């Protein structure tokens, strides 16, 4: 009986699937797994002049909602705060156009196929 990969390894593999999918869509990778004390951002990509913070979500079934629906307001707030740290570290007082995307991944027809639900600009930075 084959052992299932650890959740960490499975997560890394799915982030690679997500990264490859986004690259095929024309985005360029900037950073993977940015971490600070406030949280983690799975992927940071460049889409033209826009910096894209991507949350990758996988669900085996839609029984308890789609992958995109699992990013609630708490997770959004955590991602926004983590992105603000990244922006301050990278750009200082300058601003950069950015957006938050959610890339939902679900199993496709075969073991190596996936279905993608890419929600661009899923939520944004609060206005001051």
CATH number for position 99: 3.40.1350.10
Question: pLDDT for 77-127, tens place per residue?
Answer: 999 999 999 999 988 877 789 999 999 998 877 667 888 999 999 988 665
29 falls within a domain: yes
Which residue range is the domain that position 19 belongs to? 7-115
- The span from the CA of 75 to the CA of 69, in Å, is 11
Q: Establish if 122 belongs to a structural domain.
A: no
> 34 pLDDT exceeds 90?
yes
Q: Is residue 121 part of a domain?
A: no
pLDDT score, position 128: 46
Q: Is 32 helix (H, G, I), strand (E, B) or coil?
A: strand
Residue 127 maps to a domain: no
- In a domain? residue 128: no
Cβ-count burial 65-86 (b if 16+ within 10 Å, e if not): eebbeebeeeebebbbebbebb
pTM metric for this prediction: 0.86
DSSP, collapsed to helix, strand or coil, labels residue 29 as strand
Q: How many structural domains compose the chain?
A: 1
């Amino acid at each position: 009986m084959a052992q299932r990969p650890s959740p960490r390894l499975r997560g890394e593999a799915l982030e690679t699937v997500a990264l490859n999918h986004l690259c095929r869509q024309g985005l360029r990778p900037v950073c993977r797994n940015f971490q600070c004390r406030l949280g983690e951002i799975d992927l940071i990509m460049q889409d033209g002049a826009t910096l894209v913070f991507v949350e990758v979500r996988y669900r085996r079934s839609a029984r308890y909602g789609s992958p995109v629906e699992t990013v609630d307001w708490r997770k959004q707030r955590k991602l926004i705060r983590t992105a603000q740290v990244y922006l301050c570290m990278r750009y200082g007082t300058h601003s950069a156009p950015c957006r938050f995307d959610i890339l939902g991944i679900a199993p496709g027809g075969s073991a190596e196929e996936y279905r993608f639900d890419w929600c661009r600009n899923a939520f944004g930075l609060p206005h001051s």
